[in-house]
Amino acid sequence: MPEELRHQAIVSANHTSHPAPTVLQGLRVLELGQVLAAPFAGAIFADLGAEVLKIERVQGGDDARRMGAPFRHGDALAFHIFNRGKQSIALDLKSDTGRSAFEALAAQADILVHNLRPGVAAEMGLDGPTLCARHPRLIYCEISAFGHTGPMAQRPGYEPLVQAYSGLSSTNGGPADPPIRIGASVCDQGSGMWAVIGALSLLQQRQRTGRGGVVQTSLLETALVWNAQKTDAWLNQGQLPVRHASGHPGFVPYEAFDASDGPFLICCGNDRLFAKLAHELGQDRWTTDARFATNQARLQHKDALFAELCPLLRQRPRGEWMTRFEAVGVPCSPILSVSETMVEPQVRSLEMVLPVPGEDFTLTGLPLSFDGVRSALTQGAPRLGQHNAAHGIAPPAAD
């Protein structure tokens, strides 16, 4: 069955023709990216129609090419995901020839984005202030692990380290769980998003002033923003977060429950929705019970409510509860696996899974539509140094 579901998801990606992206057409972006944060920023620019030149090491290129088993053309799937639509130029930035070629590219670029190890750009004279002094219109985006200032500014870092250090892991999971990493790379990819937002903001400013500038963001700053609801509660109210697994600290009931055949979520975000839930369960008395009548009361008497609610929900299958609750407007959802999600009619109708031109596989597109239309992917990920010649640069020497 999983293979059948996967086939359905792949087939559904090919039934609509999507237009080529043009939103950022005419914009040139240089990317000095490794693995994820800066490459994700570059992928966003490319998906929106910008020309993205990925500058890679001559020997081996981006480490993401080897971040997993070979998928296509000797490169790992992760590399294809985050580098579609780009051109690859292999340069030795420690050589005079390589730096000269890079300067020529920078002179024609609108935006540069990198996540080089702290200190490396400065060692090569490619830090923001220095490069922008030579190219005043350039918008320079720097992504680091721990930020551009402070005692840890020069420290490299990875997603799980930053999730752990920022407190993000400590707020994830259930009450009895150890701190748990969030499965998605929310700090890496979030930092890439912030870099794009910052770059486009400075691009707007450049239209007025004629000058670019330096955008700085980091995985740590991104993690702190994602966790701000928790940290601000501690700073302002002295409240440390309680982990709720699938639940919510401010609403009851608002989490996963077990039906007779599987789990599903119920989200009662106000007392009106709770009253509908109670009525559908034949428990109208809950709305007049002082312990349960209001959300604030339910927060105080959650265990007592759940002692009654949970056994009721276990009596019938999930599909029946879903049908009944949706009919009266109670927000609910089955808890689906990845394979189940990707063949859901709603997910398929969004057409986010897009064919890669010239390839035999699909990738997930950006979560953006313009005038109701999602843009196509323009091409797959490049081979190392594939576009050197197109920019008048000698091809990289063979290993």
Query: Which positions are catalytic?
Result: 248
With 0-12 / 13-18 / 19 or more C-beta atoms within 10 angstroms meaning exposed / middle / buried, residue 223 is buried
User: H/E/C letters for each residue in 220-248?
Assistant: HHHHHHHCHHHHHHHHHHCCCCCCCCCCC
Rounded distance between C-alpha atoms, residue 246 and residue 208, angstroms = 47
Rounded distance between C-alpha atoms, residue 399 and residue 387, angstroms = 18
| Ramachandran sector of residue 309 (left: φ over 0; alpha: ψ -120 to 50; beta: rest) | alpha
Cα–Cα nearest to 187, from 30, 36, 368: 36
Read off the DSSP letter of residue 370: B
Read off the DSSP letter of residue 150: S
DSSP β-bridge partners for residue 53: 30, 87
Rounded distance between C-alpha atoms, residue 331 and residue 36, angstroms = 35
CA-angle at 65, arms to 62 and 67, nearest 5°: 110
Rounded distance between C-alpha atoms, residue 115 and residue 276, angstroms = 50
C-beta of residue 315 within 8 angstroms of C-beta of residue 260: yes
